[in-house]
Structure 1
Amino acid sequence: MKLKKNDIILIIVVLIIGIVAGLYILLNKKSGGKAVLKYGNNLSLDIDLSKDREIDLESNGIKIHLDIKNGAIAFIHSECPDHICERFGYIKNVGESAICLPAQASVTIVK
């Protein structure tokens, strides 16, 4: 099959749009300085990400352990049966979140 001139132009335009969109998304990721932890019965905790530390708490009868370092936060250990929350790893960009469903706990990065 032979490509026509208009097909080649269309392919080039689509590639350029994809590259520009990818660069825009990559360059506009902003690290947050604060995280909001929601847990238990509508409890909430604002966490400053500029200070490295560890947080241990209980939510919905499940003990969870959070680690804050280098402006990022992660579920390090949870006594929940599936441990999916631990697989999120460290999050640090505005809008990212990690959730532990059995413990009914979530961490979201905010400005």
Structure 2
Amino acid sequence: MVKVEIITRSNKFEDLKEALSDIGITGMTITQVLGYGNQKGSTEYYRGVPYEINLMPKVKIEIVTDEDLVDTIVKTSRRVLSTGKVGDGKIFVYDIMNAIRIRTGEEGKDAL
């Protein structure tokens, strides 16, 4: 089992969710997060006074799946999320030792 974690722009989430659904991904965990990277934030103006926004709103998508689907998930995500601009996000891939469904006690792939 593998966990794929995608951190990207909030406005791209619906496009990604639809594309992942098209390749058979039905389960994911979504978290609204704030991040700071190469994008470095932006300057906004409130009543003519500039102020810095250093942490940018992002969305984090977590998917636990079989190893067989990881390449497809990564390729699909890159295709949908890439704008070629700073701030497109990151994809992390982790090995998962075990998963347990609390309700039934199923473990491993059966718990997914």
Higher Rg of the two aligned structures: 1
TM-score (norm 2): 0.26
